[in-house]
Structures are given as structure tokens and as C-alpha cells.
Amino acid sequence: MQGVAYFNDCEFFEAHEVWEELWQEDHGPSRKFMQGLIQAAVALHHFGNGNIRGAKKVYFGSRSYLAAYRPVHMGIDLEKFLGEMDQCFAEVAAATETFPEIAINPELIPEIHLDPPAA
């Protein structure tokens, strides 16, 4: 899955683009799941660019979409992924300032590991 490769390389805008194409074609039960992945990538993109307000908003949207597909969907362990996203966004989620200045911790950026691995 090319979107996962981009995501794991921290190419979040590119992951978003790939997943958005799939999302536009998908009118089945995984449509909201794809939307959650798109928003996870956008949240990390915003966070990395210092748009904390935008990152926070999209992060919570992503969580909402993905949580409905727990524990595992399309080979992604959502318990693990959402837990890692929560760690990465903990300071952002707790921020009360309108325009907080928070730097992303590269050590906390989640990766997606498919089970079974993509061919």
C-alpha cells in the first residue's frame, strides 16, 4: 500500500494524496476508515509544520473515524496505532492556548505495520 509507505517515511502530504484517491473511489464499509487515515496524515503534516490548531482539530476527527474500526481493520492494529497517535499528540490535545507553539517529537511519530505485510 503506497500510502502506508509514504506515511512511514513521514511523507504525510503524499500519504494523504494516495489515500484520498482511494477514498474517492470507495463507497463501501471502509470509506470512513480511509477518511480516518487521511486525517491522521493531515494531522501529522500540520503538526510537523507548526499548525498546532489545525493539527489538533484533524487529530480528533481522525480518532473518531478510526475508533469505530477497532481493534484491527485492513491489517492495521488500530489499538496500537491510536495509542501511538495519542502519545504523539498528548501535548497538542492538552494545549489550551489558541496558538500554542509545540514541536513534534520525531521519536513519537507512529508508523503503520500491516498484518499480514503488504505484498
Q: Where are the domains of the chain?
A: 2-108
Residue that is written with C-alpha cell 517515511 in the block: 9
Give the percent of the chain with pLDDT over 90: 89
Superfamily the domain 2-108 falls into: TTHA0068-like (1.10.3450.10)
CA angle, 105 as apex, 31 and 17 as ends, to 5°?
30
Backbone angles phi, psi at 10, to 5 degrees: 60, 25
CA-only gyration radius of the chain, Å? 14
Query: So what's the pLDDT on residue 119?
Result: 53
- Distance between CA atoms of 114 and 74, rounded to whole angstroms? 8
Mean pLDDT computed over 22-28: 91
The CA-atom distances, in angstroms, between 28 and each of 1, 20, 32 are 18, 14, 9
Query: So what's the pLDDT on residue 115?
Result: 87
pTM to 2 decimal places: 0.94
Mean pLDDT computed over 85-90: 98
